[in-house]
Chains A and B, each alone.
Chain A
Amino acid sequence: MSDKVGIVIVSHSPDVARGAADMVRQMVGNEVPLGFCGGNPDGGLGTSVEKIMKAIDEAWSERGVAILVDLGGAETNSEMAIEMLPPERQGKVVVCNAPIVEGAVMAATEAWGGASLEDVRRTAEELSPQ
């Protein structure tokens, strides 16, 4: 079990999700738990609650999990996925209001240093226009 906050990347596109995850791994390293998913169950563009839940599971850390999303449905489906988690996990997962690629790298860098979930989210959200 990692002592670092986990990062989940949820994009409409499997390629974007994989690419953003590659950037996190190559720039920050493998020490941060990482999950990613993209595409709907039919293989088209979209997101799926089931895939998001699986990605959260892959990135799971008792310190919490920060989710980075791209467009609308990625956010609402992520929120739905959080609601469907076991109650003891629900409070430890947040969706960050940040650009997906930059936010993932920034959040992962902060998580790498052992920061709390709240600090990881704040770091990712520092990027957003105020």
Chain B
Amino acid sequence: MSEWLTGSILMTHDVGLHARPSVKLTKLAKGYASAIEIAGAAEGPWIDAKSIVKVMAMKAKKDTIVYVRARGTDANKAVAALLTLIEHDFDDDHANAVSG
């Protein structure tokens, strides 16, 4: 198995990773073949970004640095897409940018 590809971004969305943003993030993650995990700290704990229950339970707040890592054939695209979604405050225009 290849190495994890990691990125991070400061989450500025007002309410943080609440219900609606969590659903958007999970839906986006499900569009990629790679294993994708997120964390609220560089050392983890890492949680499965494709698990809506775990993402919602993370309760990441505004001004958290969110770490994203992916492993697999489309890991590059996956990390970029998730970081873009968070960067753009979970805006709808960036929520559906699932790779073809």
A interface residues with partner B (beta carbon < 8 Å) = 27-29, 105-106, 109-110, 112-114, 123, 126-127
Chain A residues whose C-beta falls within 8 Å of the C-beta of B56 in the assembled complex:
106
Interface residues on chain B, number (Cβ under 8 Å): 11
**Is A126's CB under 8 angstroms from B53's CB?**
yes
Additional 9 contacts, C-beta under 8 A, given A106-B52, A123-B53: A27-B20, A29-B27, A105-B23, A109-B26, A109-B27, A113-B50, A114-B30, A123-B51, A127-B53
B interface residues with partner A (beta carbon < 8 Å) = 19-20, 23, 26-27, 30, 50-53, 56
Q: How many Cβ-Cβ contacts under 8 Å join chain A to chain B?
A: 29
Q: How far is the CB of B85 from chain A (nearest CB, A)?
A: 15
Chain B residues whose C-beta falls within 8 Å of the C-beta of A114 in the assembled complex:
30
- Selected A-B contacts with CB under 8 Å, 23 pairs: A27-B19, A27-B20, A27-B23, A28-B27, A29-B27, A105-B23, A105-B52, A106-B52, A106-B53, A109-B23, A109-B27, A110-B52, A112-B27, A112-B30, A113-B26, A113-B27, A113-B30, A113-B50, A114-B30, A123-B51, A123-B52, A123-B53, A126-B53
